[in-house]
Structure 1
Amino acid sequence: MRWSRITDPALPPLAISLGDPAGVGPELICESWARREAEGLPPFFVCGGKDVLSAAARARGLAIDFAEIFDPCEAGSAGREALPVLGDGDASYTPGNPSSLGARLAFNSLQAGTGFAVSGAASGIVTGPIAKAALAEVGFDFPGQTEFVADACGVPAEDAVMLLAGPSLRTVPLTVHCALADVPGLLTQGLIVRRCRVVAEAMRTDYGIAQPRIAIAGLNPHAGEAGRMGREEIEIIAPAIAQLRADGIDATGPHPADTLFAPRARATYDVAIAMYHDQALVPLKALDFDQGVNVTLGLPIVRTSPDHGTAFDIAGKGLADPGAMIAAIRMAGEIAARRTIAQ
């Protein structure tokens, strides 16, 4: 897979939420802005945290300027010479040491950026990595940012589908943040069909794939081996695939997961559907860790995020790779441009 670098200069800028200010998010945002021209990134602005960003840039050895803006439309002109920051929310920069004040800033930044995307003042939102436990202490009562953004859009959480996308692989986990022991009970034919329909539509509108090929993994080793290692493939997954094919969706499987992500297999599909979190994320992170993007499908707005966490252990040390943040910003701009073209 190649990044197409589709852009539309007439689109509003992207909003970037800061993420936890004690994590690597702020420094990677600064690094992304410093590389914006070389990477061909669309215009963007950050929601709050000007002092945090400035300190993070210094810690990383970046000599960049910051521009205070008061409206997203100012980001284009201001962003030519300085990183635009909208909003006066701030906190102390304490890399590796999260605080309640920092969590509050992260929450406020997420709320502001989502609001700009929902209103159309921003062409989408790129969310910085958060610490869920710290956010929960300041009133964030969602499992993650995906559910928060979906709720802000009025979309049921079950219709907000997590796609992990990198240069080598696109994959969707049907179940996400739950115990592995709970996965078999959560899988239903209806869940598979509903989410695969969202995926198929997103492949067409957001990725420009007219006839997307969807490969669906089995749950059990060897895809159950005809029922010898479990019956979920026979009773749940195969009937869902039959229904999808009857709907005109090019779905195949259930495929054994241990071969589905091999190079020759990846050439046969556009997106792989996994049954649980690690079945999807292990191959994505093995192949594309430094360029992996978390995309939320099924929303009326564009939302992406780098597919890594806060990395408190290396925050402020100049060690974090900016590749995933750069890829998340680029992909958000590409999706926004494609949706505009499709209208």
Structure 2
Amino acid sequence: MRPRLALVPGEPAGIGPELVVRAAQQDFDADLVIHGDAAALHRAAAALSLPLHLHRAGETPASPRSLELVEIPHPDQAAFGIPEPANAASVVAALTRAAQACLDGDCDGMVTGPVHKAAINQGGIAFTGTTGLLAAHARREVVMMLANGIVRVALLTVHMPLRAVADAITPDALDGALRIVDAALRRDFGIAEPVVAVLGLNPHAGEDGHLGREEIEVIEPTLQRLRGEGLRLVGPLPADTAFLPGKLRGFDAVLAMYHDQGLPVLKYSDFANAVNISLGLPYPRVAVDHGTALDLAGKGLADPSSLFAAIRTCARLARQRRSAA
């Protein structure tokens, strides 16, 4: 199977368009369908002094490296490094049209570049992130997981203040997240009996209740119940030792209680090749693990490694999902 992947550049004033141009120079085991603005892409190609050939569906490609384009024009051709709120609707439209192409079966997966949340909100669209947007569009509960070749880290809570994290760790939230992670590891990664390490919230996983009771009152009872249903769960583990290489070899993924508990370890281990995967959607979605890097836009300095890794990962997940169907 050679999957068709919807590729969304993201914020036009950031590095997304030039990363897509660099991807156009590569050979991937997938067909890329760009959902975005042709002018922004050609401007990025000119800045990089690289060729870029695009064609619409049904057109004969002018070059073997030509990529199919679903044109979603931006009303304002923003300068490199300066996001324009007037483009908010078109940036979001590129994401939702690519997602719909996946739901309709026209594409087998979706790869997304970085967006600028502040510019989208300044453009009058309430926006907390692409993962939430896609979850609402598909009407699915999702779990964010970041991965590289060393470790996979899923998150129970994502972008919230630390003061709110403890209250968000409920039996229902933990139950739902672990079921999504387990199902995705089986279906998308082809792991027959995945082992998931679950971190505690508190230092030393609560030290038997002396440093917090979330482990005793919420995490451990939920893990015990799910183990009774056949899920292979280890924990709650102290976060400061769970990522030791000897322990990681026994886990297929780690569920962290909050954003900065698990992601610093993942990004330190191999930031360039890390990707962001949305577990629970009806299709594979993989994103780069970095922001818009406005200060690098148009300078040819942006590292495309994460986008290349996202494309390869999404293609692999799409093939695995098709074979498991």
Identify the TM-score tier after normalising by the shorter chain: over 0.9
Encode CA deviations 1:7-37: one digit per residue, 9 max, x unaligned.
x22x4x11111200011111111111212x2
Query: Could you tell me how far 1:265 is from its partner in structure 2?
Result: 1.6
Encode CA deviations 1:248-288: one digit per residue, 9 max, x unaligned.
01101111101111211211100000000111211111112
Query: TM-score by structure 2 length?
Result: 0.95
Q: Distance in 2 between matches of 1:41 and 1:49?
A: 24
Question: How many residue pairs are counted as aligned between the two chains?
Answer: 324
Q: 2:34 aligns with which of 28, 32, 46?
A: 46
Q: How does 1:231-250 map to 2 (within 5 A)?
A: 231-250=213-232
Q: Distance in 1 between matches of 2:130 and 2:207?
A: 37
Encode CA deviations 1:94-144: one digit per residue, 9 max, x unaligned.
211111233333122112211211111111111111111111233432321
Gaps of at least 5 residues in structure 1 are: 1-7
Q: SS where residue 34 of structure 1 aligns?
A: coil
Q: Distance in 1 between matches of 2:247 and 2:289?
A: 23
Q: Give aligned-pair identity as a percent.
A: 39
Q: Distance in 1 between matches of 2:107 and 2:301?
A: 30
Q: Distance in 2 between matches of 1:265 and 1:295?
A: 23
- Residues 223 and 255, structure 1, Cα contact 8 Å, conserved in 2: yes
Mapped pair 1:81 → 2:65: yes
Query: Could you tell me how far 1:79 is from its partner in structure 2?
Result: 7.4
Match of residue 67 from structure 1: 54
Q: Distance in 2 between matches of 1:261 and 1:316?
A: 37
Mapped pair 1:33 → 2:24: yes
- Residues 278 and 285, structure 2, Cα contact 8 Å, conserved in 1: yes
- Residues 30 and 83, structure 1, Cα contact 8 Å, conserved in 2: no
Match of residue 310 from structure 1: 292
Q: SS where residue 214 of structure 1 aligns?
A: strand
Mapped pair 1:180 → 2:155: no
Q: SS where residue 316 of structure 1 aligns?
A: coil
Match of residue 22 from structure 1: 13
Q: Distance in 2 between matches of 1:79 and 1:339?
A: 31
Q: SS where residue 251 of structure 2 aligns?
A: coil
Which AA in structure 2 matches 1:110? L
Gaps of at least 5 residues in structure 2 are: none
Match of residue 5 from structure 1: none
Q: Distance in 2 between matches of 1:65 and 1:313?
A: 23
Q: SS where residue 197 of structure 2 aligns?
A: strand
Q: Distance in 1 between matches of 2:31 and 2:298?
A: 25
Q: 1:145 aligns with which of 115, 121, 130?
A: 130
Query: Could you tell me how far 1:93 is from its partner in structure 2?
Result: 4.9
Query: What RMSD, in angstroms, separates the aligned Cα atoms of the two structures?
Result: 1.7
- Residues 199 and 238, structure 2, Cα contact 8 Å, conserved in 1: yes
- Residues 215 and 255, structure 1, Cα contact 8 Å, conserved in 2: yes
Tell me: CA distance 1:78–1:294, structure 2 relative to 1, closer, same or farther (3 Å).
farther
- Residues 196 and 232, structure 2, Cα contact 8 Å, conserved in 1: yes
Q: How does 1:129-168 map to 2 (within 5 A)?
A: 129-155=114-140, 159-168=141-150
Q: Distance in 1 between matches of 2:226 and 2:270?
A: 29
Q: 2:261 aligns with which of 279, 302, 319?
A: 279
- Residues 9 and 113, structure 2, Cα contact 8 Å, conserved in 1: yes
Which AA in structure 2 matches 1:310? T
Query: Could you tell me how far 1:83 is from its partner in structure 2?
Result: 2.9
Query: Could you tell me how far 1:41 is from its partner in structure 2?
Result: 3.8
